[in-house]
Chains A and B, each alone.
Chain A
């Protein structure tokens, strides 16, 4: 494609038409890959070419405008280039404005960060366009802050919007921030609330990062909002969007800058303290060489072998431990008791069984009195130990407390975690030595517990099968896994059914179906794991039926974390309940569930849910094939 040169008055509209037609037919890449670089070069210094280029795009008919503009935005190597190429198109042409400010940002989310940078940079480069930038920011914030958007839009879209917000913020200048400070503040507050309410850690983190950025922009002096979250590549990438490489923009305090500043500040401090310690410790053992007349030699030392570190001893009896934990003022003893408790419980099962419920009660209410390392884990391991030593009464106690008044969310989630860990321990054969702790031991709220997807369970099941086959293959060399009765089978029902019982009965401080959907999510995941671990137990069929009904009641829950849990529940039912029982007892439920799963695969906004549903459907198919393969 060649162009006319030498400032002749020519009409470019024909070329625009051609361009538009080509783009709308989907050939954006080909034509623009040639066009854009040439135009970039030509317009670099030549004003006439710039004007030609602007005329070119302005003349593209409206119905093809979107394709052309989108193509340019995607291909332009930088915001300034885009500005040269498009000029003030967005101001002059309504369609272009719609595409740039609404469609790309709010209705689509497949574009890369570079595209966003281009687009928003382009908006910021001209004073006419800056008004659009502010408008765009306001709309983005409105979307970001709306609770229904947070709940229903896919995480990818939310990330896209967050990125756009951050880039906009980076382009804003002081006077503009001044003028819309109040709005920024209100939308930030609302938005943060919705984001933190979500169950998915990714959404929460997005909310935190954006809120921090907004807060740092509007309060440049004075305390700034600071959240604690895991810094990983995604977070760093998002934060890096806050700064622009162009010197014209207001430079915010880069996280990198902060770090280097802090490092620089730390260095002089280190040097100072080094100097200080030097003055404090000069002339050391020089003196030793001055052998003084040593009349100390005739002082014979006594035996000092008994001189050891003073350690407070933990009590040796479980009942003493309970006393210490309940009311002792002696903090050293309390600490020693907490540390020693788990091993004491495991070594004295008979003594523990006598006081198991009391001990469980004390542990559930145990607060951290002094700062012990790993307190939460110590308490959890002690609770698991009590539960495995005396499963039935303690499980009864814990599940009843789960639905009682006046417990904190942390305690309720603790109960769930402890039940799962104990169930795991009980259901594995004893000769495995230490129970295989999966990575979910951390009771940290951020981490979603257990690899709940059927794929991972598949792996575990496969591993088990593999270990059995290996035994046959290598004969005597492999130590035989001693088989012992599944200790979980007698108590599985006690763990499981009370948890399902009251989920729809709201209490004053605890409403599973209402605000406390976080706990509901954890409960659902717990039930899935318990179901899975109940394989080969007697109660499994009854559990499966009850669980499918439970899932059916909750299947339209708005929270995606809950839905993921429900899908894992279905998979674990399919994996645990023997196929014949499934067919006999639960045919209707299975059919209904199958149709629901199909629905989820197609329509659910959350990617994880869709994946889980798909796997569950595959499981069902496999099951069906297996049953059909068996000659009846």
Chain B
């Protein structure tokens, strides 16, 4: 007899707007409090204290335009946020400050979340959708110098980039970029040459979100249709479809693989969060709490495995926090 799915451990209320992005920062030592950053449609970034379940700080840096991406850069004191005001802001949050130290004007009016990758101490690569329709620009932070601009070839008709993921096999190797586009294809880019290594048509509809496991060289992407597509990267750096998983209801807004690569979570337009095993994509649970489409899911980076959490932000203004499969 299968157990009924668990209830959320707790629910964070108080954003008063749809939640578009979440990011945990729980790896700090005591007395650091575990923190959850959330970006909402009203332009606010809320810093949630996961011990008290209350908002510690509210950051207003995007002119009340929706914030759709938040990432930390090495700890909870440096925050990067991306909003619909066409800006990417870098925040300094140490010692209670809330100031924007720097910003990048992207001139891009899309919804593509940027992707961060730490390449060296104090140096980051950030991939973001650029001003021109099909291009992706990679900047080095904090210097904001452009590393390369990735242009698809003429006539490729990929459409807008919808989601990006920078990764490298291990520290020191070549950083690569996986980009999902509007026409349903995923392209693997080589940054140093600025060339596409491989392109794979995974979906008939735009790729809404993707995530990649660099150890297994396997990735997963979701779109607005009813399938999840799992693809792999072979030795020749070619993408191949590995498996297709059919869903009950169409539409996936976000996919994320847990850092221990055991499970993954998808955020669906049908208000449900689905948990799958990563090895074989075995469906494990369907978490049905929200009453509107779930925009984002995120796993926490707790050092202690039993404390690990999953957070989901939805259009119904709530963030649900779940503790699921923490024993493995």
Chain A interface residues toward B at CB < 8 A: 276, 279-285, 287, 292, 294-296, 298-304, 306-310
Contacts and interface: CB of A to CB of B under 8 A. Distances in A.
B245 interface: no
Contacts of A304: 2, 5, 283, 285-286
Contacts of B280: 294, 296
B5 A283 contact: no
Which 4 residue pairs are nearest across A and B when measured between Cβ atoms? A303-B2, A302-B285, A296-B277, A307-B286
A288 to B, nearest CB: 8
Nearest to A305: B2
A307 B272 contact: yes
A276 B285 contact: no
B282 A302 contact: no
Contact of B325 (A276, A282, A299, A308): A299
A274 to B, nearest CB: 13
B251 to A, nearest CB: 10
Interface stretch (B77-85, B117-125, B235-243): B235-243
B282 A301 contact: yes
B246 to A, nearest CB: 12
Given A299-B328, A302-B285, A287 B242 contact: yes
B270 interface: yes
Contacts of A296: 262, 277-280, 282
12 contacts: A279-B201, A280-B241, A285-B243, A296-B279, A298-B328, A299-B263, A299-B325, A301-B2, A301-B284, A302-B285, A304-B286, A310-B270
A298 B284 CA distance: 11
Nearest to A285: B243
B16 to A, nearest CB: 21
A525 B161 CA distance: 60
A291 to B, nearest CB: 10
B268 to A, nearest CB: 9
Given A283-B240, A296-B277, A302 B284 contact: yes
Contact of A302 (B2, B201, B202, B270): B2
A341 to B, nearest CB: 25
A283 B248 contact: no
Contacts of B306: none
B200 interface: yes
A308 B288 CA distance: 11
B248 A303 contact: no
B6 interface: yes
A276 B6 CA distance: 42
B8 to A, nearest CB: 14
Interface string B1-23: 11111100000000000000000
Nearest to A306: B288
A294 B279 contact: yes
Most chain-B Cβ atoms within 10 A of its Cβ — which of A287, A294, A301, A306? A301
Interface in B269-305: 270-272, 277-280, 282-286, 288
Nearest to A277: B201
Interface string B140-166: 000000000000000000000000000
Given A296-B282, A301-B284, A276 B201 contact: yes
Contact of A282 (B5, B241, B270): B241
Contact of A295 (B3, B201, B244, B279): B279
Interface residues on B, range: 20 to 34
Contacts of B1: 303
A309 B249 CA distance: 6
B277 A299 contact: yes
B286 A284 contact: no
Contact of B285 (A301, A309, A310): A301
A95 to B, nearest CB: 69
Nearest to B203: A280
A303 B282 contact: no
A309 B288 contact: no
Nearest to B247: A307
A310 B249 contact: yes
B89 to A, nearest CB: 34
A284 B231 CA distance: 10
Contact of A306 (B202, B271, B283, B286): B286
Given A283-B240, A301-B2, A301-B285, A292 B200 contact: no
A303 B4 contact: yes
A286 to B, nearest CB: 10
A578 to B, nearest CB: 63
A204 B244 CA distance: 52
Given A309-B249, A310-B249, A299 B282 contact: yes
A281 B244 CA distance: 9
A190 B230 CA distance: 62
A187 B2 CA distance: 78
Contacts of A308: 248
B7 to A, nearest CB: 11
A276 B200 CA distance: 10
A280 to B, nearest CB: 5
A107 to B, nearest CB: 62
Nearest to B282: A296
Contacts of B262: 295-296, 299
Contacts of A307: 248, 272, 286, 288
A283 B284 contact: no
Contact of B279 (A284, A292, A306): A292
Given A276-B201, A281-B241, A296-B282, A303 B3 contact: yes
A292 B22 CA distance: 33
Contact of A301 (B201, B270, B283, B328): B283
Nearest to B6: A302
B156 to A, nearest CB: 14
Contacts of A276: 201
Given A299-B262, A307-B248, A307-B272, A280 B200 contact: yes
Contacts of B5: 302-304
A394 B272 CA distance: 45
Contacts of A302: 2-6, 284-286
Given A282-B240, A300-B284, A310-B249, 18 more contacts: A276-B201, A283-B241, A287-B242, A294-B279, A296-B278, A298-B328, A299-B277, A300-B3, A301-B2, A301-B285, A302-B5, A303-B1, A306-B288, A307-B248, A307-B286, A308-B248, A309-B248, A309-B249
Nearest to A304: B286
Most chain-B Cβ atoms within 10 A of its Cβ — which of A279, A299, A300? A299
A285 to B, nearest CB: 8
Contacts of A298: 328
A304 B6 CA distance: 11
Nearest to A282: B240
A300 B324 CA distance: 11
A284 B241 CA distance: 7
A281 B202 CA distance: 9
Contacts of A287: 242-243
B50 to A, nearest CB: 24
Contacts of A292: 279
Contacts of A303: 1-5
A560 to B, nearest CB: 52
A285 B325 CA distance: 27
A276 B241 CA distance: 12
A284 B284 CA distance: 22
A13 to B, nearest CB: 78
Nearest to B270: A310
Contacts of A300: 2-3, 284
A276 B183 CA distance: 14
Contacts of B248: 307-309
A304 B283 CA distance: 9
A299 B248 CA distance: 22
B328 to A, nearest CB: 6
Contacts of B2: 300-304
A283 B242 contact: yes
Given A301-B285, A310-B270, A280 B249 contact: no
Contacts of A301: 2, 282-285
Contacts of A295: 262, 279, 328
